[in-house]
Amino acid sequence: MIRNLTLALGQLTDPRFRGVLLAGIGLSAVLLIGFSVLLVWGAQWLVGPTVTLPWLGEVTWLDNAAGWAVVPFTLIASVFLMVPVASAFTGLFLDRIAQAVEDRHYPGLPPARAQGWLEMARESAGFLGLVIGANILALIAYLVLAPFALLIFWGVNGFLLGREYAQLVALRHLSRDEAAAFRTRHRAQIWATGILMAIPLSVPILNLLVPVVGAATFTHLFHRINRGSAAPSRRESRRS
């Protein structure tokens, strides 16, 4: 598991990784900034430009105060928002990352199975809905078991992200039924690797790397445990 992650991190300088990483950071930043601006504007709108308070009279600065007050909340919310953002991002760019990993570390593989945009969009939409629904339900657990909220977050999203990454990577080389069987056979290792991806999702800024690193890590995982491929030799890694 750690070896797969190390290999993924070692390829971040690959031009194809950089291109997808920059696109992902831009997409994630736009979505998160847009949400933050909308939230601040909403808080200011609810308070209004002026408020009349007992003994103080008319106050004109509460809307700005309300806007600043929600900034810490947006930082916390960004942690949870990055989960569906990462899910949507994966469906869009996983194929490029997986191909870059295979070209560098597994050059003898047959070509990946062709997937149409409709199939990829259906898979991504299904996973995105599952991620959002599961995290909404998990909010109850976060409130009831507040001291363990972070562990619950890692466990739930580790399972969801592991399921998604493993499925999408497997579908490049297997049929849908074979990909499901692969997930079932190796569910413990897939979940553990998913948790490894979910942990940095809870760290702002660092979470922007997760979609790219996750796609690469699960590509290594798939080839190492499903195709019986040994880890890339040191000689191959040095040559890369």
C-alpha span between 138 and 235 (Å, rounded): 45
Is the separation of the CB atoms in 84 and 131 below 8 Å?
A: yes
Q: Is the overall model pTM greater than 0.85, yes or no?
A: no
Three-state SS letters, 111-139: CCCCCCHHHHHHHHHHHHHHHHHHHHHHH
- Whole-number pLDDT of residue 237: 41
pLDDT, mean of each 10-residue run, the chain (240 residues): 85 84 75 72 63 55 60 66 65 81 88 70 70 77 85 89 88 88 92 91 78 90 73 42
- Whole-number pLDDT of residue 68: 61
Is the separation of the CB atoms in 194 and 162 below 8 Å?
A: yes
C-alpha span between 119 and 47 (Å, rounded): 46
User: Is residue 203 a part of any domain in this protein?
Assistant: yes
Tally of structural domains, the chain: 1
User: Is residue 210 a part of any domain in this protein?
Assistant: yes
User: Is residue 141 a part of any domain in this protein?
Assistant: yes
C-alpha span between 240 and 229 (Å, rounded): 17
Task: Give 231: exposed, middle or buried? Use CB within 10 Å, 0-12, 13-18, 19+.
Answer: middle
Three-state SS letters, 29-98: HHHHHHHHHHHHHHHHHHHCCCEEECCCEEECCHHHHHHHHCHHHHHHHHHHHHHHHHHHHHHHHHHHHH
- Whole-number pLDDT of residue 37: 74
User: Is residue 133 a part of any domain in this protein?
Assistant: yes
User: Is residue 94 a part of any domain in this protein?
Assistant: yes
Q: Which domain holds residue 223?
A: 2-6+79-239
- Whole-number pLDDT of residue 193: 94
User: Is residue 218 a part of any domain in this protein?
Assistant: yes
C-alpha span between 240 and 29 (Å, rounded): 31
